[in-house]
Structures are given as C-alpha cells and as structure tokens.
Chain A
C-alpha cells in the first residue's frame, strides 16, 4: 500500500499560528516523522499554534491525531479545521480520551535492587508461612483419618499408585540399569590402576543401595509425578473445582492431597527396590563384560561384602522423599491463583523445590546414618 508521508508546516494566517498538516497521518505512516523528531535533539521551541488545519490530510486515525496534538504542544486551547464531520468526530474522540501519560518514574538502580530483594524476602516469608499452614492442615486431616479409617479413601490411593508406581516402573528400571552399567565401567577403569578391579562390585552395590537408587528414583518421581500433582490440582484450582468441593463440604486436603501423599509414600520404597534391582543388574552385566565375572560370582561377592544395612539405609529414605515430593507438588498446585499461566510457573517451581528438598534431606540422612554408625 503506497503511503504518502505525513508532512506539516507552521504558517501565519489572519494573525494566528496555524499547524497545517497534509499527507497520511496514520499509525503506519508516522514512524519516519517520529524518527526525524527524535533526531532533532533540541526541539526548536515553537510558539503554540492556535489552530490545527487538517483539511489537506488524506487519511487520519487516532494515532495520527495524537501525534498532531503532541506537535501542537497539547490539545488545550487549540482549534481544529477539519475537512468533514468524520475528521472532526475522530478529533473529538481522541480529545475526550486523551490522558496525560505520566513519564516512566525514574528509579535509582540501587533502590530497585533493594526493592527486589525486599519483595523476594517477603515472598519467601509468606511461602514458608503458607507451607507450614499446609502441613498443619494435612496433619490434622491425617489425625482425623486415623480416628476414622474409612476416610483414607483406599480406592483413590490405589488409583494414584497405578499412576505413580506401575507407570513409572519402566523408566526407573531403564535409568537405574544404565547408571549401574556406568558406575561399574568407571569403577573397573579406576580400580584397575591399583589392581583392585574386583572391588567394583562393592562400588556398584554400595553406591546403588545407599544413594543412587533412591536419589535417581526420587528425581524421576519428582519430574513425572510431583509435576503432575501440581498441574492437576492447579488446573482444578483454575476451573474453580476446588472451590466447588469446599462448598459441597469436601475437604480438598482429604480428597486430593492425602491420597496422593499416601500413594507416593507407599510407592517410593517399591520403586526404589525395583530401581536397586535394575541398577545391580546393570552393574552385573558390565562386570561380566569388563571383568570376566559370571553373574554368580558378582552376586556372591555382593552378598559377602555389602552389608544388608546399605540396602536398608536407602530404603528408609524412600518414603520420606516420597512424602516430601507429594506434599510439595500438592502444595504448589493449591497455590495456583487466577490464570493458566500460573499453573505452568508453579509446576516448574514444584519440581525444582522437590528435587532441592530431596537432596537436602539426603544430606541430613547421611549425617544421621554416620552418627548412628550404619
């Protein structure tokens, strides 16, 4: 579309200053004009015109009128000469709705920086308070459920277990198997330098049992089930389903949160056991390839050298991690407010927070086991 450039000039007519515009004054055509005006650094201080004459303007829209009024130094006390009623009406609309846009408040970078820190601290504080409230409510509901066991909702728990346990079996097995292979391979490479490559069996057994089996499983579960909890509850929050539950007299903690927490607390040890098996299998396969071990030799050595407590320490952590992942996932889901955008935001946050808490807890467990001497 060929566009005639917007042009303007100031003329004297009958003793008044007139801003005479011509060409096309639309949102698509005023860009070059604005560039020219921006380049002319110090705008020549023109006396304010008394009249804006747009009779020679071919096309005019609201953006063009805003620009003309800006050129004229504001719309007050300025008369208009328009070609027709449509132009005059358009001017009327713009003038009636013109608001003084306040300039962006200039904020000192230090002030803004301090302000942001303050905001995030207050947010953190609120988050902690809300988390405590959530845990408190969950415990109260849990206590109530122990008094009235039928409130445990076994069917919901079983359904959730299908999602978080059965459906996760394949991925947990594959990943743990591969990690077992990798550790065995690295162990053989490093220990061979001391002629101690048979200790690879201990390396694989202890690392899988104590740390990797349970950590890897927890990270997978946080990624696929924790995020799903947040997304499910968040979507229900957006659709006002949770509000609807409250009005019917159903407690969302009892109906939505407790089954999920129970499902994960039960499923995590089962998944960890399964992951341990797969990891050991991976280690055994790698040892048969790199060390000329047979499966029987591998597992016999494992039985003789790796104590049963290595296995227990890993398994003790599993339900705790499961509880933390489920609780964080459900908590963030219930934090969703307003739009679908916040579902995505909080899902991300839920995964990050649950993995973070799992690793912090793992460190605490290490200290406890060290002090307990197991």
Chain B
C-alpha cells in the first residue's frame, strides 16, 4: 500500500492539506481508530465512508479538533493540530470551514448574521462589507436573496444545509469539511447540492473532505474515496475500490444500490461521448 492509506499513490506532487499518521482515538477502553493514516491533497474532493459505528464522524471531529486523538500526528495545512491552542488554533480555524449535518446554524441569528459571525470574528470588517459578503455567499449557494433576513427555523432542511454551507464558505477557506451534506435531501436536491459543491470547489480551489453515505455523491463528485475498515483508512478511486477484496467493501460497492449508482455513472459517461 502507498503512503497515507492509499491503494495506489495519487499525490502527483500536490500539497498535503490534511495529513494523519498513526492516529488512535478511543472512548474509555473502546478503540475507534488505531494506526490510522490518511492524506488529503490540495484541490481534491474525498468522500469518507464506512459502516455505522465505524467512526466516520469521530474521525471528522478529530481532524477539526473537537475530539482529541490519543496518539499520532494530525497536520492541517502544514500545522500540527494536536496540542494547538490559543492564537495559532484561532488562525487555523479561519482557513477551514465546517458544515455540520443538520446545519448547526445559530438559531437566534438570521442567516445573514450567521454568515457574518466568522467574518466579524476573524476579519473584523465593517457592517456594510460583511452584509455584501453575506449576500454574495447566499447567492453562491443558490439561495434566494431574501433568505438572508430569515431565521434558520423558517428554512426547509435543504435550505438549512445550503445556508450552513454559506457560513462554512464565509472566509473563503482552503479546506472544507462536510458532514453528510446530502443526507435527508431528495435525489434531485441531493444532485443539485453535489453540483453546487463541485462547482464551488473548482472555482474556489477548495479541498473537500466529506462524510457521506450517498453512493451517487461518491460517484459524481469525489475524486477519491476513503473507506474506514478495521479502524484504519483505505483510500483509492472508485475503480480501485471496486477491485479491492474486502467483504464490507464488496458488499458496499457491489450491493444493489452500489451497482445502480455505478450503472448510472457508466451511462452518463457513454452519453457524454
């Protein structure tokens, strides 16, 4: 296996924006990840998958610093995440954006004010500039302009996810973390959301790590897929994983849903020719 849990090396001389080496996380005696290696390269979208309870969300929380690792090295944008605190941590947070599963928008603030929170904290701009940036982000994620004045409780689930994405993009971060971005959306909404993330990722040059269960998302927008297997990550492209011999991986990608998603992908590819 190549470096960083990869089946085949895809680095191509790119920067490593998230680098995990020999990471162990545990709750009490229960070990979730052990000797885990993973790399995220600049400008790629990686989907993180795994069975229920395999620790996808725990891994995401460990990377963004909400859950301490017991051992190992976690480097984000070249900065060691472990033991980071104070101003250094604050600065790093300005360069990463996180979209939580249910949005996690501040319910007492309007959508525009939600987007302005990170800008006020990290850039300290004046009200007018912040309002303009918030309006731009709201339009970028495809929400109607009047959404800015609404409270999160007035939005539908899909709109909340978009609003949360807008907040994650408030500071034009280099690195974006998405937790189940399409869970709970209808297939049309989910595929629009996928296109949105892909489009923003290309034009803003983002590196994206997304926890997802949506096989269509994996097919449509992920450059690579990281699978959590036996407390470690196995990463590769869809084709490499289809050929990978492991019972869970086989069942996941070759099950009825996996086959349907792959078929669609093939169809789309041949239609495109």
Contacts and interface: CB of A to CB of B under 8 A. Distances in A.
B172 A34 contact: no
Contacts of A339: 107, 152-153
A93 B172 contact: no
A67 interface: yes
Contact of B91 (A1, A94, A97): A1
B139 to A, nearest CB: 4
Interface in B124-161: 124-126, 129, 131-133, 135-137, 139-140, 145, 152-154
Given A31-B125, A63-B133, A98 B172 contact: no
Nearest to A66: B132
A148 interface: no
B171 interface: yes
B203 interface: yes
A309 interface: no
Contact of B204 (A28, A34, A90, A340): A90
Contacts, number: 78
Given A1-B91, A97-B136, A101-B135, A27 B123 contact: yes
B205 A86 contact: yes
B14 interface: no
A202 B170 CA distance: 69
Contacts of A97: 136, 139-140
B136 A66 contact: yes
A238 to B, nearest CB: 10
B107 to A, nearest CB: 4
A196 B135 CA distance: 76
Given A27-B171, A99-B139, A67 B204 contact: no
A370 interface: no
Given A1-B91, A93-B203, A62 B172 contact: yes
B270 interface: no
A90 B125 CA distance: 21
Contact of B172 (A1, A26, A86, A342): A26
Interface string A59-98: 0011100110010000000000000001001101110011
A30 interface: yes
Interface residues of B, number: 31
A341 B94 CA distance: 27
In this complex, the member of A27, A28, A61, A90 whose beta carbon has the largest number of chain B beta carbons within 10 angstroms is A27
Given A27-B172, A338-B153, A339-B153, A63 B204 contact: no
B172 A341 contact: no
Contact of A28 (B122, B137, B154): B122
Given A34-B125, A66-B136, A341-B153, A99 B171 contact: no
B59 interface: no
Interface string B178-205: 0000000000000000000000101111
B108 interface: yes
A99 B136 contact: yes
A38 interface: yes
Contact of A27 (B119, B139, B145, B153): B119
Interface string A161-191: 0000000000000000000000000000000
Interface in B75-111: 91, 94, 107-108
Contacts of B154: 338
A94 B91 CA distance: 25
B203 A66 contact: no
Contacts of A341: 107-108, 153
Contacts of B140: 62, 93, 97
A115 to B, nearest CB: 16
B48 to A, nearest CB: 26
B145 A99 contact: yes
A199 B209 CA distance: 79
A99 B112 CA distance: 14
Contacts of A94: 136
Nearest to B137: A62
A361 B154 CA distance: 38
Interface in A28-51: 28, 30-31, 34, 38
Contacts of B205: 86
B133 A90 contact: no
A93 B132 CA distance: 15
Contacts of A340: 107
A96 to B, nearest CB: 8
In this complex, the member of A26, A66, A97, A342 whose beta carbon has the largest number of chain B beta carbons within 10 angstroms is A97
A86 B172 CA distance: 14
A98 B145 CA distance: 10
27 contacts: A1-B91, A27-B125, A27-B170, A28-B94, A31-B124, A62-B133, A62-B137, A62-B204, A63-B119, A66-B129, A66-B136, A67-B129, A70-B132, A86-B205, A89-B202, A90-B203, A93-B140, A93-B200, A94-B136, A98-B136, A99-B136, A101-B131, A337-B153, A340-B107, A341-B107, A341-B108, A341-B153
Interface of B: 91, 94, 107-108, 119, 122-126, 129, 131-133, 135-137, 139-140, 145, 152-154, 170-172, 200, 202-205
Task: List the 6 closest A-B pairs by CB distance, nearest first.
Answer: A97-B139, A338-B153, A61-B172, A339-B153, A341-B107, A89-B203
Given A62-B133, A63-B129, A99-B135, 20 more contacts: A27-B119, A27-B122, A27-B133, A28-B94, A28-B123, A31-B124, A62-B136, A62-B172, A62-B204, A63-B125, A66-B136, A92-B203, A93-B140, A93-B203, A93-B204, A97-B139, A97-B140, A101-B131, A338-B153, A341-B107
Interface of A: 1, 26-28, 30-31, 34, 38, 61-63, 66-67, 70, 86, 89-90, 92-94, 97-99, 101, 337-342
